Amino acid sequence: MDTQALALALPLIGWASHTALLTHRLATARRDPLTGLRTRAGWTALAERIIRRHRDAVVLLLDLDDFKNLNDSHGHAAGDVALAVTAERLATWCGRHGIAGRLGGDEFVAIARQASDLESLHRSLRQPVAYAGRRLPVSVSVGSCHVKDLPVRSLSDALTAADSAIYAAKGTAGRRGIRPLSR
């Protein structure tokens, strides 16, 4: 290859390599490496589309109860397993009609086109998690918001309502579970 052709090709090769790297970073930023769920950025755009198209959509916020205690008592590897299992259970519940995401830490989010059986999700989420030959108890608080109950259909308002509902669920002494905003 002559020098002039090489001089022309090098910037193109550099540009192509840089583009491939940026594309890879963008793709990985949209998926949580531990759970495989979408991150906030990857989840939000899809959730907004579902809210615009499906009046009966339900938005969920979830977090693992006493997650710090699980990590402190059984180790961070046990906590990672609990997060991965919770993510799998949530994604299974969403199926093809919804999207699950991980906001970070022990917080998850989901949207389903229709309010499926929330009680079956709760039963699934509270099943013990197998780790190192033991069955670790897991408790997950869930707040939900039915989009049709909002004055204006917006993801931001749905998340705010679900957040209020999750605090209500956590604030009820001795009872964890799903607390819908309204019906």
What mean pLDDT do residues 48-69 have?
A: 94
Helix locations, the chain, DSSP H: 3-29, 40-53, 67-74, 76-94, 118-125, 155-171
Catalytically active residues, by annotation:
106
Span 145-179, pLDDT tens digits: 999 999 999 999 999 999 999 988 887 533 344 54
Question: Looking at this protein, which amino acid is placed at residue 170?
Answer: K
**Predicted local distance difference test score (pLDDT) of residue 5:** 73
What mean pLDDT do residues 17-38 have?
A: 71
Rounded Cα distance between 166 and 164, Å, is 6
Burial grade of 7 (CB within 10 A; 0-12, 13-18, 19 or more) = exposed
CB contact burial 135-151 (16+ within 10 A = b; e otherwise): ebebebbbbbbbbeebe
pTM of structure? 0.78
**Predicted local distance difference test score (pLDDT) of residue 181:** 45
Whether the pLDDT of residue 26 is over 70: the answer is no
